[in-house]
Structure 1
């Protein structure tokens, strides 16, 4: 991806979140120059990969396959300081987050506003990690629901669903962009993502202009 694209998409995400009155922490707006002045007082942000995360998942077509998100709080498997994570995401209309599951993470996905959030789910075999054809029991806002593998599940604004480990999922916005929250156990995007068709979790960047803000894997270390 081009840095100019990343800058633009993050600006758009900030504007979208502001429209929906979702307020971000101060450090979500820090420039690279401001980050260069930050010392060990910001180590938790660095170590827990809090901050902006924008990816095309290695497919090279962000508007078709991609995601913009910011991790607001997160624990650490090393520190074992807190058992939870929170993210907020911009899921664009017809933009797919590709099929994947997590070995460890349990997460609630919440439609915080905008359009209808659509998803397809499949159970993964714990040995082969292949999709299975078994019926799926999930909880939508705490209410038990059975869905068939690959069936489209739609969440209107205000609704949520719980994903357990070894549950393949993909999602996209149906009729408009969606503001999507995630509340989960500790998140580790390096070691706890199993994509059905892996290409790459973080984008290769063409530095055609200076970054306006840094991604969560780009912070200068002290």
Structure 2
């Protein structure tokens, strides 16, 4: 993914958040000079917990079709006692986050505003670790359980949320407009806790065609 694409995605996400009056912490707006000027002690938890911007095309090379822009607001680190995490995500219309599950993490995905957030679900087949195309599902939408067939799709309108337990395959995208989506979950580990149905990269390989306007959480080790 080109750095210019990442910069544009961040600018777009910031505009969507302003539209929905969702406010980010100050470090979300740091440029590289401000990062380097900040105290090491003051930013330690940010770095250790991988807080901050995250833009990915899953190394598929078509961000508009398959990608996601996220900002991690809080998460567990070696030095804190947090057992939880929170993210805010911008899901563009028809932009797919590929089918995946988490081995450990339970999460609520929330439509914070905009269009409809579409979530497709499958159980994991216990023998193959692939999609179970026959097993029905029972999932909670705002605390009320509903039954779905294998591969069923839930439409979350603004204000609605779904609870996804560990090892439940899910994919999502937006319809009828861009969605500002929230995630409240158990502690998040994007390095080891994502199992994608198709082999792909969680973090993009970056072509540095221009300077970053803001660092990604995956940039910290390189730049700081």
- Bucket of the pairwise TM-score, normalised by the shorter protein: over 0.9
What is the match of residue 159 of structure 2? 158
Mapping of 1:42-57 within 5 angstroms? 42-57=43-58
| 2:171 corresponds to | 170
Tell me, in whole angstroms, the C-alpha distance in 2 between the residues paired with 1:17 and 1:168. Answer: 28
Contact 1:94 1:172 in 2 (8 A): yes
* 1:90-139 C-alpha deviation (Å, 9 max, x unpaired): 00000000000000000000000000000110011345322112111100
Q: Structure 1: state its 5+ residue gaps.
A: none
Pair 1:72 & 2:73 matched: yes
Structure 1 match to 2:5: 5
Cα distance in 2 for residues equivalent to 1:109 and 1:131: 21
Distance in 1 of aligned mates of 2:85 and 2:199 = 24
Q: Which residue of 2 aligns with 1:195?
A: 196
Matches within 5 A, 1:6-155: 6-38=6-38, 39-76=40-77, 78-79=78-79, 81-132=81-132, 133-155=134-156
Q: Which has the higher helix share?
A: 2
Given the two structures, how large is their TM-score scaled by the length of structure 2?
Answer: 0.95
Please report how far the alpha carbon of residue 40 of structure 1 lies from its aligned counterpart in structure 2 after TM superposition. 2.2
Q: Which segments of structure 1 move beyond 4 Å, counting only runs of 4 or more?
A: none
Aligned-pair CA distance for 1:216: 0.5
Aligned with 1:138: secondary structure? strand
Q: Tell me, which stretches of 5 or more residues in structure 2 are unaligned? A: none
Instruction: Tell me how far apart the structure 1 counterparts of residues 75 and 148 of structure 2 sit (CA, whole Å).
Output: 30
Does residue 212 of the first structure (1) align with residue 197 of the second (2)? no
Q: CA RMSD in A?
A: 1.3
Report the number of matched residues. 221
